[in-house]
Each structure stands twice: as structure tokens, then as C-alpha cells.
């Protein structure tokens, strides 16, 4: 650009001394202030997100998937579908009445959960339990009713469901992925599984039935209740907790 006017070979000093019409020190200061403001807001946002993710002030349970649909018979011989059980949090386990000592730990833990929920008055209304049997031939509604009586639980709070062997295999094996073998009289429940379904029919948690901790189940039921009962204003915060996978540790 100097080639066109070789006679003006200005030094940097001379150039800076040239008058500049549109220079306003105030606007430069203003731009600098905006820059600092943006940088500060950015840093504050990063700190806020880090705090939200690390301290987890809001915890949620993952929305694993839609819980599988079913239509089975309960211990009183009534048809019960998954849709009939919407509206309350559902704790489902897969077992059979002749399981005996192998399933005793799972049974004990569930009874502990039941006792605690019953003491709070939440059982049967907010939270219900369902046992789906893997033994279609052995566990008829009559057998299940006797079993429920032995555990001292009744229909609205804890239901026991049975169906045909094929239905049960498709539901428990195919949909829930719980492995069991039925060989005539012998039933081998290889996987002991307990699942938590929320009031809208979404699968929220899966537990190993053999190593069930009643405290963790009660905590998770509490988290699902808390989220379900949250106000509209708190919804975005719960959604943020889902996005940032703020699951309980």
C-alpha cells in the first residue's frame, strides 16, 4: 500500500500521531467491560454446572425404557394388565412359591420394604408390589393366594400374577431379560431380579434380587415420588438432572 505513494514513508511514530476521527476511548472501555462480563458469566456457568454435577443437589433415577405390557391373572383370579397398575409406583419381582431358601433373601428384603412403606401409609396407594411367577403350572391363583396369606399381604398392596408358560416366558425372559429354566417339575430361577416401574409405566431401576438392599429400594422409591410430585417450576431442574445423569451413587 506504500508503493502508490513512495514520498510518504511514515514511521510508526508519525502514523500514530495521525488524527483518527472515529476513535472514542469511551467505546473501547465499554467493549472491554462487555468482554469481561461475558467471560465472567461463562466462568460462572461452568462453575454452576460443575457444582450441579458433582454435588448433585437434585438426583433422579434414569428412565431406562417403557416397561413391557402384560395381561395376567392375579391371586384372586382377576385379569390385571400393566395399564391397570399405572398411577402408583410399582415394585415388580420375579419368583415362584416353591423357590424356598434360594429366594428367601429377596423375600425378606421385600418384606422389610413393605413394613417401612406400610408404616408411612404409602403402601397400596403411592407404592404397590407385584410378584410375577415364573412357574405357570405350579403357581395357580389358589397357590398364590395361600402364599400371599403366608406373607401377610393382600391384593391392592401386593399382587401376585400368573399366566400361561408361554406368556410368562415372553414377558419375563423376552421382555425383562430374566433367565430361568422350567424342566417339568423343577424350576431353576437363575436370575433373581427386582424392577422399579414409575407411575407412568417407565422402567426406572433394576436390582439383583439376591443382593437386595431395602434401604436403596426405599431411597429410589423416594426419588421417583419426589420427581413425580415436583412442581411445574421445578421440572426444568429435574430435566437438567436427567441430562447431566445425576443418578444416585
Partner 1 sequence: MNRKYLGYLFEVAWILPSVAVPIAFLVAIVITAFAVGIAVPGEAGRIDPKALNTTAPFDQPGLRELAPGRYEAVVIAQLFNFSPGEIEIPAGSKVTFIVTSRDVIHGYKIEKSPINMMVIPGQISRMTTTFDTPGEYYIYCHEYCGAGHHLMVGKLIVKPAQTASTNR
Chain contacts with partner 1 (rule: CB under 8 A):
16, 20, 22-23, 25, 27-28, 31-32, 35, 38-39, 42-43, 46, 49-50, 53-54, 62, 169-170, 173-174, 177-179, 190-191, 206, 208, 210, 245, 247
Q: Of the two residues 21 and 232, which places its CB atom closer to partner 1 in the complex?
A: 21
Nearest-approach distance from CB 27 to partner 1, in angstroms: 7
Nearest-approach distance from CB 169 to partner 1, in angstroms: 5
CA distances from 72 to 45, 69, 100, 165, 225 (A): 51, 10, 23, 11, 26
Return the bridge partners of 133, or none: 95
Q: Of the two residues 71 and 151, which places its CB atom closer to partner 1 in the complex?
A: 71
Q: Of the two residues 61 and 153, which places its CB atom closer to partner 1 in the complex?
A: 61
Nearest-approach distance from CB 16 to partner 1, in angstroms: 7
Q: Of the two residues 13 and 20, which places its CB atom closer to partner 1 in the complex?
A: 20
Nearest-approach distance from CB 112 to partner 1, in angstroms: 20
Q: Of the two residues 143 and 196, which places its CB atom closer to partner 1 in the complex?
A: 196
Q: Of the two residues 31 and 234, which places its CB atom closer to partner 1 in the complex?
A: 31
CA atoms within 13 A on the CB side of 88: 17
Nearest-approach distance from CB 150 to partner 1, in angstroms: 27
Nearest-approach distance from CB 77 to partner 1, in angstroms: 26
Residue 156: CB atoms within 10 Å: 11
User: Helices 104-120 & 214-228, crossing angle to 10 degrees?
Assistant: 40
Q: How far apart are CA 66 and CA 195, in angstroms?
A: 12
Residue 219: CB atoms within 10 Å: 13
CA distances from 237 to 62, 143, 229, 240, 243 (A): 15, 47, 13, 5, 10
Q: Of the two residues 75 and 162, which places its CB atom closer to partner 1 in the complex?
A: 162
Listed in order, strand segments (DSSP E) in the chain are 65-66, 71-73, 79-81, 89-95, 127-133, 158-161, 180-183, 186-189, 193-197, 202-208
SS3 at position 133: strand
Nearest-approach distance from CB 54 to partner 1, in angstroms: 5
Q: How far apart are CA 193 and CA 71, in angstroms?
A: 20
Amino acid at each position: 500500500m506504500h508503493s502508490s505513494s513512495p514520498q510518504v514513508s511514515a514511521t510508526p511514530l508519525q502514523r500514530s500521531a495521525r488524527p483518527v476521527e472515529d476513535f472514542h476511548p469511551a467505546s473501547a472501555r465499554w467493549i472491554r467491560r462487555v468482554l469481561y462480563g461475558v467471560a465472567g458469566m461463562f466462568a460462572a456457568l461452568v462453575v454452576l454446572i460443575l457444582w450441579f454435577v458433582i454435588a448433585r443437589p437434585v438426583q433422579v433415577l434414569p428412565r431406562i425404557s417403557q416397561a413391557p405390557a402384560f395381561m395376567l391373572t392375579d391371586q384372586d383370579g382377576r385379569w390385571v394388565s400393566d395399564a391397570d397398575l399405572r398411577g402408583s409406583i410399582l415394585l415388580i419381582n420375579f419368583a415362584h412359591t416353591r423357590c424356598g431358601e434360594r429366594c428367601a433373601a429377596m423375600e425378606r428384603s421385600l418384606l422389610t420394604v413393605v413394613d417401612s412403606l406400610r408404616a408411612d401409609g404409602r403402601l397400596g396407594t403411592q407404592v404397590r408390589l407385584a410378584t410375577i411367577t415364573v412357574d405357570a403350572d405350579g403357581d395357580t391363583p389358589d397357590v398364590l393366594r395361600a402364599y400371599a396369606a403366608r406373607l401377610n399381604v393382600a391384593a391392592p398392596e401386593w399382587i401376585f400374577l400368573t399366566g400361561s408358560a408361554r406368556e410368562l416366558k415372553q414377558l419375563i425372559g423376552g421382555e425383562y431379560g430374566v433367565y430361568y429354566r422350567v424342566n417339568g417339575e423343577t424350576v431353576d430361577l437363575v436370575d433373581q431380579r427386582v424392577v422399579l416401574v414409575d407411575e407412568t409405566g417407565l422402567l426406572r431401576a433394576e436390582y439383583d434380587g439376591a443382593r437386595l438392599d431395602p434401604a436403596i429400594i426405599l431411597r429410589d422409591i423416594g426419588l421417583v415420588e419426589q420427581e413425580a410430585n415436583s412442581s411445574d417450576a421445578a421440572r426444568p431442574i429435574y430435566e437438567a438432572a436427567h441430562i447431566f445423569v445425576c443418578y444416585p451413587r
